[in-house]
Amino acid sequence: MTLNPDPSTLNKAGFIAAYGGVYEHSPWIARAVWEAMGDQVPCSAVKLSVLMAATLEQANDDAKLKLLRAHPDLAGKAALAGVLTDNSRLEQAGAGLDQCSKSEFDRFQQLNAAYTNKFDFPFIVAVKGLTRHDILDQFEIRLNNSRKIEFQTALEQVKKIARLRLEAMEDEK
């Protein structure tokens, strides 16, 4: 399995263009990986996801918070306005968030507001394999977390989303 495009065939700008969106609106992670590895960046989704996750872990809390805040609300205003990134739009649609009933949509809006008010960043979950009902259940549970626990949980979910996005970029060869 090889990433497509193959990182070894890219220059810095090409790598950032291809992989800068793996972490939502945070191309600095791809840039840092390239600056550390250059044309030695691995062409495996698993290996690249580990490097990118390590880059995130090494960042300060302000950079991590900015990355969390770059994520859209689930079934939120960005989805309604049609301004989600392609990855986010496909991921949310895959979980059925584009098919919410009025009451489900209202519930998402209430939970998004409560979560953001409590934690100061949006609720983040890797939605692949989940239904909108599963996501609402996780919302309810995670709202009871402390900010410290939820900050780390959100970062782990971001890393999972990035890994899944990289896996989707792999070609069998």
**Out of 3.20.190.10, 1.10.3330.10, 3.30.160.150, 1.10.10.10, which CATH number does the structure's domain 71-156 have?**
1.10.3330.10
- pLDDT of 65 > 60? The answer is yes
* The pLDDT value given to residue 83: 55
Mean pLDDT score, 139-153: 97
How buried is 162 (Cβ within 10 angstroms: 0-12 exposed, 13-18 middle, 19+ buried)?
A: buried
User: pLDDT by residue (tens digit) across 79-88?
Assistant: 555 655 677 6
140 φψ region: left (φ > 0), alpha (ψ -120 to 50), beta (else): alpha
- 25 tagged catalytic: no
16-32 mean pLDDT: 96
Give me the residue spans of the domains in the chain.
2-66, 71-156
Rounded-to-integer distance, Cα 122 and Cα 141, Å: 15
Q: What is the pTM of this model?
A: 0.90
Residue 99 has a pLDDT of 81
What percent of the chain shows pLDDT beyond 70? 90
Whether residue 34 has pLDDT greater than 80: yes
Catalytic residue among 29, 33, 34, 71: 71
Query: What's the pLDDT tens digit per position in 88-124?
Result: 667 777 767 778 888 988 999 999 999 999 999 999 9
pLDDT at 50 over 80: yes
